[in-house]
Every structure is written in structure tokens, then in C-alpha cells.
Amino acid sequence: MKKLFFLILAIILTETHLFAQNNNSSITFNNSLAKQLNTSSGGAFPYNSAGITAYTQVPADSIDIIKGVQAFSKISEVGDNYALGTVGDVNLYFDNAGWVISYYPRGYEPSRMVNSFDSNIINNNNLLATINIILDTMNISKIYPVQYTDLEHLAADSMLIFYASGLKTVYFEIPNSYNVFSQSVRLYLGLKPGSYGDVGGKILVDGNVVIYNHTEWPDYKWSFEDQNSDSFVTASIGSAHTINIQLVGIGDGYYPFSFAYVIIYSH
């Protein structure tokens, strides 16, 4: 069997024997700058409860607290010089020093940041999108560099994401030379127009179900929404593993269906 290695993973799609040549992306964390978030924000940013995080700093005079909070789905706290709330399921903090920080709390799967399952998986993620929403609300049109970190695992220096769509089996292996802090996976079930009945899907790693998302009769709705589900995974280092999607149910079901596997690690 042929094998093609990408960065830290060997990925092969079986059934069609097509190689996932472009189906992985990576991010290098900027932890030296991330440590400033604990002090530069005046202590208002919940540094010790944040997990996977994206952040940028814009000119201080461009921050408008009153205008910015209009983008929040829920306002958690507003001070004289900062605001904290949520946009969708993403937590967001910004202050008049120019810090704009989006994050998921500790204990949440980093895979939650995945919003697309293609070559834009990095540039179209939920953390980045949330930062852009708040900047747009404050009429900040200039593009500022966005950095990433995992504040729960500051010893980690990288994130790698691999992804696939359809009912394919993907083989992967994480070399012994990497120190892995977390592994998580996201299952995406897209809405099929006119779908009905008993529908769902599951992710299996090494034959074991790690995500099971099933809408059973008679609890289904005639108008379905796209579904995302996440779970932490523990795949051993230095061994070959398999991951694949299986659909469940008897109705028309969903399409497309995809997964993304996120690894937080250090070199």
C-alpha cells in the first residue's frame, strides 16, 4: 500500500485510493505575544479560563466599546475600558488598549473553531470570523495580523488540522517525536434540501464511535439545520490509526458530510 506523508501525518484515502495531498493545514502559535494578554489587558481578560485563542491588536483609538458590544449575542461584562461577551458560541473580549481576542473556554474542543472543510480551513475559521465581526461592527476596515495560541497548553507551539469528506477511511499516524497536548474531531452534517425522517452520522476512530449525532423518529423536524458535533480523541503516538464517517438513519439524510481532526502539539 502506498503512503504519502504530510508534515506529521501519513494520510491515505482508501476505496478510491486518492491521496489527500492538500487536505491538511497548520498554524504556528505565537506564545511570546500571547503571554502579554495576561497583563496588557489590565487583568480583565479571563486568561486563566481561556483555551484555544485567536487575537490581534488594533490602534487603541479605533476601539469603540459602545459600538462593539452591538455585535454580541450575549453580553457578559462591560467595564469602562473593556467588554466581554459571546458571538454565537465563541467568547470575545476587546478593550481600549486595542486587544481583540476570541476564544473557547478551557475544556472545550479546539475542533470547534473549524468552519470549513477545504483549503480555507484556516482562513475561514470561527475564531477569525468572530474577530472580523467585531472589527466590522466598529468600522475597522484595515486588516491586522491575527495570532493563535492555546492558553490551556502554553507549551504547545503548533496546531495541525487534517480533514476529509465522504465515506472514506483515512489512515493517519502521529510520530513519536511530537509532544501532543490534545486531539479533537469535528463532524459536519450538511443539510440536504427536502430531507426528512430518521437521520444522523457518526465518527469512528479505530472502529470506536467518538461522535454519534442522530435525530430519531418521531423527534425530527421538517426543517433541519446543518449539524456540527465535537469530541476529544485519544489516539496513541507512533501507531497507525483509522478514522471514518458512517451515516445512520432511514430518511433522506444529510449531505455533504465531513470531518476535521485537530492536533495541538509541540515540536
pLDDT in tens, the chain (267 residues): 333 333 334 333 333 322 244 588 999 999 887 878 877 666 789 999 999 999 999 999 999 999 999 999 999 999 989 999 999 999 999 999 999 999 999 999 999 999 988 888 999 999 999 999 999 999 998 888 999 999 999 999 999 999 998 888 899 988 888 899 999 999 988 766 555 556 678 999 999 999 988 765 444 444 456 678 999 999 999 999 999 988 876 555 556 789 999 999 998
pLDDT of residue 64: 95
Alpha-carbon gap, residue 110 to 100, rounded angstroms: 19
- Nearest Cα neighbor of 99 from 162, 55, 53 is 55
Domains of the chain, first to last: 5-26+156-266 (2.60.120), 31-150 (3.30.310)
DSSP state of 248: E
CA-CA distances (angstroms) from residue 42 to 76, 184, 199, 259? 17, 32, 48, 39
Residue 55's DSSP bridge partners are: 101, 147
pLDDT of residue 264: 97
What are the φ/ψ torsions at residue 207 (nearest 5 degrees)? 80, -5
- Nearest Cα neighbor of 242 from 210, 265, 212, 201 is 210
pTM to 2 decimal places: 0.86
Alpha-carbon gap, residue 5 to 20, rounded angstroms: 10
pLDDT of residue 16: 30
The grid coordinates of residue 7 equal 508534515
pLDDT of residue 23: 84
pLDDT of residue 115: 93
- Nearest Cα neighbor of 109 from 79, 89, 84, 133 is 89
